[in-house]
Structure formats: structure tokens, C-alpha cells
Chains A and B, each alone.
Chain A
């Protein structure tokens, strides 16, 4: 009765769910809950070691290494990608294939730009002498931001898979939901970056 998918022409039982939420959407929400703990643990580790790092002879000062300008640009890129993601979903729901293609590929492009920026940043830091083993800052910083970058990369692959799936089966009624759940994950990864940006780079 309550499911929105009933507005589309197919059998009601196929998509009947007890809560009225699509199964895959509910699953992705629960997965995001799980991922929250994943990043919370990494961020906590970073903060546990921040004062220890300061007190050690091989102390490396985050303020000397981190380039706020570059990361502000990266953060803006990722935030903009959330906007293009919303536009892609909206186009997909309207059945507007042209705009869907534009906005989804824009999201992918912004995601790739972010990864490129992070590769540049890592490379730069490495030449400045910050590595996984140079200090506790290096240890915690690279593992935290590296795993975030990996999530962005997985997000890009997910979005591209959705793009090609929608191109291969343009008439599948599942398409809008495919886009929506990939978008949910994408927004989550963005949000994690906002947290990392504020907690690691700004504070």
C-alpha cells in the first residue's frame, strides 16, 4: 500500500516491502551505518596519537605539512560532486537521459579530480619527508586519508558501473534506484571528507 514503486506499471508483490522502503536502499543505509564505525575508528586513532606525536623526538607538525589551500579546493570539488550527483539522480528519475549522462559523468570527473589532487598531495608530502614510517602523524594521517581516498575510488567505479548498466539496459525500471543507492554512498563518502577536513586539516 505504502510503497512508492507501485506507481510504476509492474506487479505489486515484486516490490512489496514491510517498511515500504526499497530493500536495496535499506541495505545501503545499514551499510553506511557500518561504515560510520569504520571511519570513526580511524579518526579516533588519529586523535589518540596526536598528543603522543607532539611529545616525541621525531615529532612532525601537521600544520607545517598540510596545505589548507589545496585541500580547500579538494573539499569544494567533492562537495560540488554531491550537487552534480543530486542532479544526475533527478534527471534519471525524470527519464532525462541526456542530463543524466552529463551530470553523472560530471560527478565521476569531480571524483577523479579529487583522487588526482590527493595523489598530488601525497606525492608532495612524501618529498617533504612525511611517510607512513616517519612519525605517528605520518602513520595515522596516511592510513586515514588513504582509506578515504580508496572509498572515493570505489565510489567512482560504482558510479561508472551504474552508468554503463543504465546505458546497456536503458529501459530497466530499476535504473533510478541503481542511481539513488550509488548516490547515497557517494554523499556518505563526501560527508566523511567534511569530517576529516574539519578535524584533521582545520583544527
Chain B
């Protein structure tokens, strides 16, 4: 079919100014490079978070263990949770989205390439700042939820909590900026004919997540700012001894924290919705239901936050409302699961590693979903809360679900991103090892939780009866580490010696498979014109329109048009390819913001030095913004053509 030749080969590529080596990465504004930077840095943080988990599991492997001190143990579970959520899973999803969304909607880049670069740098610096805390008095040790008043200065005197606030703050700004970018890109940069109801479901879910993000994160930002003021500037928002309200922190935190769960899981549901149809060789079953149930989940996600607070005692009315709303979320989630199953039903399944991970996602996510439904019931929740049962539940949805979904996406898109295939044999070994060791690690936690083992304890006595299950969990976690090493090995060897990937290795249906692997810098030499939900399948198999039951299929085709699901625009437009120049401005602005952040942390204790650091930060920022304005003027499309 030679699709790639037709998109890339018909015109001479535009001259692209890419700096060589490291400079190219530091100054890049290309969504594909930024996507890879997200994936690599997030994976490094993910491995660090995994090591923290291993240290905890080693400590808990046997009773009365003294491998970690209580304080170090507290630092470990705080950093593990914070790292996995803010620096691991979220940016892994952002990285895949950054790389794939413009390709899938037929765009040349994100709407704001320089803002995109700012997001990656702020994310990296925010993550590094969080980890600086280890070297300046100790990491935060108050849990990723940072409940008041434990976070107040008298109970958490080290700067750990301050680094947590600023680190989360920087990644939060990065996330909001990134979400704005996704919203504008997806709503405004779609290729002609790519209506909202023809968008790939991964793009749909990224759009929903972007909207959740811009409404959930500001609430966390305000809460952490108030906490910062409590710690340094004499306010008392969360200080009960002076009339402050510890429960208010919980409300604000979980108003952000619950939607955050959907920020983590929805993109991976989008990945599954791409992978399953491709490897079942069938269109997704119930496209509209899968898309709009994602919207429903995003909306309902804002109405259930207090189910994290049943133990607080908010009263029967509030508990009943939040319990019922939480049950309600099971409906759109169930709709998705049944649609995925129906997609596979009678398909000719191609059990690649990616597909295995997608099926693993569904099965493990269902287990986590069922334990989630039990937790939505206030009376049961009061029994289970803060026990290992909850730890089991959230790892089934976020690891068995989200992480397996991310792996499905990585095995699916790695050939597109690198031009090399991952080793499928090794991938399947990794999948089975991971699936077994995952269940070995986390299933026993249901049992130890039911037997009363609380979360966040650094050790337990031998007589408690939790020894066996903890030992099994620890053995499982060590095997999990082996599975991740297998993946690392697979990536490092395949990227150099893996088989060369064709443009369309999986017989995909969406636009990213229409361009070469890896895609050219400008993505599409000519803007594709889309006329169905599966532009590539329609082009490759025009006779299957009726069989596919695609009611939106190529109606109104006038004589002389090709039978493709999409076609390329007329050659006049080709010369208009215009790519943003590389620039260091976003990096400079991010460095300025980071210096400002260090200043804020120490403003309460070392006023003068910190204030001068803040001034330096602002000056660096101003320098960056000036060069940003200049480059965006030089780069403006009008300028290029005048």
C-alpha cells in the first residue's frame, strides 16, 4: 500500500533547524522530542519510586525488622506515593499523549510548542526539587496526602514538606500548562474532516483528562499555598489549636486527589481502546459509549472526593451522598469494560505483548474495581480504611490497571517512536512475570488488610498473624523488580539492534501509522483529510466499509475522489509547512522559576538571602521571557511569509 511513501515522499521536506546533540534536546520545541523527554524522565523517576517501594517491602518482609528506621520508612512511603503519582504515572501518560496526539489528529505539532517545552522543564525541575530534600535535612515524611496538622512546622520541622509543596507546585504549573496545550491542540488543530466524533479514543481521553486537570489542580495549588503560609508566615488555615481546620485540608486535597485518580487512569483507558481494536482486527465496539463514558467518569470524578473521608465522620447525609455517587462511577466504567470485551468478541485476536498488557489491564482493573465498589460503601469503608486492603485496591487499579495500560501503549507505539521493534519474546516473558509477581505482591494485601494490618506502619509484631502474607508480598515485589529490569534490557538492546520498524507494523487504523517510523520532524508533508473514524483501515481495505458497519463511512463520495478514508490536500498548501525554531527561552524561564522556588522555601528562615535568590530568579525569568517574546515574533507565520 506504500502509505508512508505517499505522505512523506511526494514533497521535498522543509528545511528544519535542529541543533545537534544535547543542544538539540535542551532547545527543542518538537512535540515528539518533548514526548520522549517526558517518557524517559518519568521512567527514571518511576524506577526510583519502585526502589523506594522495594526498601519498604524489605523492611516489612519479616516482623520486628530494623532494616529501615521509622523516620526513613515514613520518608519512603511519602516519596513513593508522591513520585509514582506526580513524577511517574502522570508524565508517562503525558509523554505518550505529547508524542501521539498531534500525529493522531493530523497536526504538525502542539498548539503552543514553546509552552510545551516549558512544561517538560518545569516537570523535570519540580521532580528534582522534590528529591533535593533528601540532601537538606530529609525528605517529606507526612504521606503523599500530607494531612494537617502533621504538616505544620512543629510536627514536621525539616524543610521536607516545603520541598514537597514547591516540587508539587512546579509540576502542577507544568501540568496546567500542558493541559491547556492539549485542550487547544485537540479542539483546534485537527486535520480537516477529523470531527470530534471521529477522533481516536486515546485523543478523547487526553481531552477529558486535560479538562479534569485545569479544574482540579488549582485547588491543590491553593491548599499547598495555604500550607506554606501556615508553616512560614504565621497563618493558621490548618492549625486546629488556633481555630484552623484539619478537615478543610482533607476536603481541598481530595477535591483534587480524587479527580487525580482519573487523570492517571483515563489516558490508559484510551490506550486500551486503541490497542484492543487493532489486535482484535475489529473496530471498537460502541465508540460513542466508550468516549462519552469517559466524559461521564471525568464529570462524576468531581463529586466523590469525600469517599476518602468516610472515617472523618461527616454525617450520614454526606456519607450517603458520596457513597452513592461513588457507586454511580461504576456504571460508565462498566460500560467501558463491556465495550472492550465486545470489541475482542469474535475478533481474530493477535496476542502481541501490547495486546497481552491490554487484556491484563482489563482483568486486573476489574479486580481493583470490585474492591473499589466495596470501599464506596461507608460502613464497609470504615472497617477497611487505612488498612492494607486499601493498599491492595489502589495498586490493582493504578498498577494492574494504569501501569499495564502504559506498557500496552509503550509496546504499541515504541516502533513508531524509535523506528525499531521491541523484542516480543522478551516482552511476553516480562508480561507473564509481571502479572504473576504483581498478584503475588498485592493480592495478599487484601488478606492482611482484612486481618487488620494498618497502612503506613514501619513494622509489626510476630504474634499479629501477618507474617506469611507479608513475606509473600515481599517475594512478589522482588520478582516485579526483575520484570522491570527485563523491560529496561529490552529497551536498551532493541533501540540499537531491534528489527527496523515499518511505518505500520500492527496494521493500525489511525493516522500515526500513515507516516514513517519514526515520523519526520514535520509529521505530515501534506495535511491529511479525514472522512471516517478509521482513516487508515478505510484506505487499506475500502471494501470493508459495509462489513465494519461504519455508519459514518464514506458517504457523499463524489466521482473522481479516491476511496480512501482520508486524502491529502492539494499541493498549493505544501510550502506552508512552518515549524517553530528551537529556543532556550522555556528552559531559562524554568530555571528562573526554580530559583524563585528555592527562595520561597527559605524566605521565612533566611529572609535576606532568600529574598535576593527570589530576585535573581525573577531576573532570570524576565530574561527568558524577553527572548521568548522575541523568538515568537520572529517565528510568527506572518513574519515567515513577509
- Asked whether, in the complex, the Cβ of A139 is within 8 Å of the Cβ of B641, the reply is no
B11 CB to closest chain A CB (Å) equals 14
- Asked whether, in the complex, the Cβ of B180 is within 8 Å of the Cβ of A30, the reply is yes
In the complex, chain B residues whose CB is within 8 Å of the CB of A169? 633
Interface of chain B, main secondary structure: helix
For residue B190, CB closer than 8 A to chain A, the reply is yes
A6 CB to closest chain B CB (Å) equals 13
Interface set, chain A 1-56, CB cutoff 8 A to B: 10-11, 13-15, 17-19, 21, 23-24, 26-27, 30-31, 33-35, 37-38, 41-42, 45, 48-49, 52-53, 56
- Asked whether, in the complex, the Cβ of A27 is within 8 Å of the Cβ of B112, the reply is yes
In the complex, chain A residues whose CB is within 8 Å of the CB of B243? 49, 52-53, 56, 58, 136
Q: Could you mark each residue 134-145 of chain A with 1 if its beta carbon is under 8 Å from any beta carbon of chain B, else 0?
A: 001001100100
A31 CB to closest chain B CB (Å) equals 6
- Asked whether, in the complex, the Cβ of A139 is within 8 Å of the Cβ of B237, the reply is yes
Segment with Cβ contacts to A, from B140-148, B150-158, B218-226, B325-333? B218-226
Docked Cα-Cα span, A19 to B641, in Å, equals 24
In the complex, chain A residues whose CB is within 8 Å of the CB of B223? 41
Q: Which of B222, B244, B573 has the most CB of A within 10 A?
A: B222
A122 CB to closest chain B CB (Å) equals 14
Docked Cα-Cα span, A53 to B242, in Å, equals 10
- Number of A-B contacts defined by CB within 8 Å: 128
- Asked whether, in the complex, the Cβ of B190 is within 8 Å of the Cβ of A18, the reply is yes
The number of chain A residues touching the other chain, given as a range, is: 35 or more
A163 CB to closest chain B CB (Å) equals 12
Take A38-B221, A139-B236 as given contacts and tell me if A27 and B637 are in contact as well, using a CB distance cutoff of 8 Å.
no
Take A26-B188, A143-B235 as given contacts and tell me if A34 and B214 are in contact as well, using a CB distance cutoff of 8 Å.
yes
Contacting residue for B183 out of A11, A30, A56, A147, CB 8 A:
A30
- Asked whether, in the complex, the Cβ of B245 is within 8 Å of the Cβ of A49, the reply is yes
- Asked whether, in the complex, the Cβ of B111 is within 8 Å of the Cβ of A27, the reply is yes
For residue A165, CB closer than 8 A to chain B, the reply is yes
Interface set, chain A 61-108, CB cutoff 8 A to B: none
Contacting residue for A174 out of B187, B219, B237, B636, CB 8 A:
B636
B615 CB to closest chain A CB (Å) equals 15
In the complex, chain A residues whose CB is within 8 Å of the CB of B229? 132, 139, 143
In the complex, chain B residues whose CB is within 8 Å of the CB of A13? 527, 573, 576
Docked Cα-Cα span, A136 to B111, in Å, equals 44
For residue B314, CB closer than 8 A to chain A, the reply is no
- Asked whether, in the complex, the Cβ of B248 is within 8 Å of the Cβ of A18, the reply is no
- Asked whether, in the complex, the Cβ of B638 is within 8 Å of the Cβ of A10, the reply is yes
Contacting residue for A34 out of B112, B217, B225, CB 8 A:
B217
For residue B346, CB closer than 8 A to chain A, the reply is no
Docked Cα-Cα span, A18 to B185, in Å, equals 9
A82 CB to closest chain B CB (Å) equals 23
For residue A161, CB closer than 8 A to chain B, the reply is yes
Interface set, chain B 380-416, CB cutoff 8 A to A: none
Which residue of A has the minimal Cβ distance to B220?
A41
A131 CB to closest chain B CB (Å) equals 7
Docked Cα-Cα span, A19 to B111, in Å, equals 13
Which residue of B has the minimal Cβ distance to A14?
B637
- Asked whether, in the complex, the Cβ of B637 is within 8 Å of the Cβ of A15, the reply is yes
In the complex, chain B residues whose CB is within 8 Å of the CB of A37? 214-216, 218-219
Interface set, chain B 599-642, CB cutoff 8 A to A: 625, 629, 633, 636-639, 641-642
Docked Cα-Cα span, A29 to B581, in Å, equals 26
- Asked whether, in the complex, the Cβ of A26 is within 8 Å of the Cβ of B237, the reply is no
Contacting residue for B636 out of A19, A53, A132, A172, CB 8 A:
A172
Q: Which of A11, A131, A140 has the most CB of B within 10 A?
A: A11
Contacting residue for A42 out of B222, B244, B578, B637, CB 8 A:
B222
- Asked whether, in the complex, the Cβ of B237 is within 8 Å of the Cβ of A34, the reply is no
For residue B176, CB closer than 8 A to chain A, the reply is yes
Q: Which of A30, A132, A147, A173 has the most CB of B within 10 A?
A: A30
In the complex, chain B residues whose CB is within 8 Å of the CB of A26? 183-184, 187-188
- Asked whether, in the complex, the Cβ of B183 is within 8 Å of the Cβ of A27, the reply is yes
For residue B234, CB closer than 8 A to chain A, the reply is yes
In the complex, chain A residues whose CB is within 8 Å of the CB of B188? 17-19, 21, 23, 26
In the complex, chain B residues whose CB is within 8 Å of the CB of A140? 237
In the complex, chain A residues whose CB is within 8 Å of the CB of B636? 172-174
For this complex, 27 residue pairs linking A to B, each with C-beta atoms less than 8 Å apart, are A10-B637, A11-B576, A14-B576, A15-B637, A17-B188, A17-B189, A18-B189, A21-B188, A23-B111, A24-B112, A26-B183, A26-B187, A27-B111, A30-B180, A30-B214, A31-B214, A34-B215, A38-B221, A41-B223, A42-B222, A45-B252, A48-B248, A132-B229, A133-B235, A133-B236, A136-B243, A143-B226
| Given A10-B637, A13-B527, A30-B180: 20 more A-B contacts, CB < 8 Å | A17-B188, A23-B111, A23-B184, A23-B188, A26-B187, A27-B112, A31-B214, A33-B215, A37-B214, A37-B219, A38-B219, A41-B218, A45-B222, A52-B245, A133-B235, A139-B235, A139-B236, A139-B237, A161-B625, A174-B636
- B interface residue numbers (CB < 8 A to A): 111-112, 176, 179-181, 183-184, 187-190, 194, 214-219, 221-223, 225-226, 229, 233-237, 242-245, 248, 252, 527, 573, 576, 578, 625, 629, 633, 636-639, 641-642
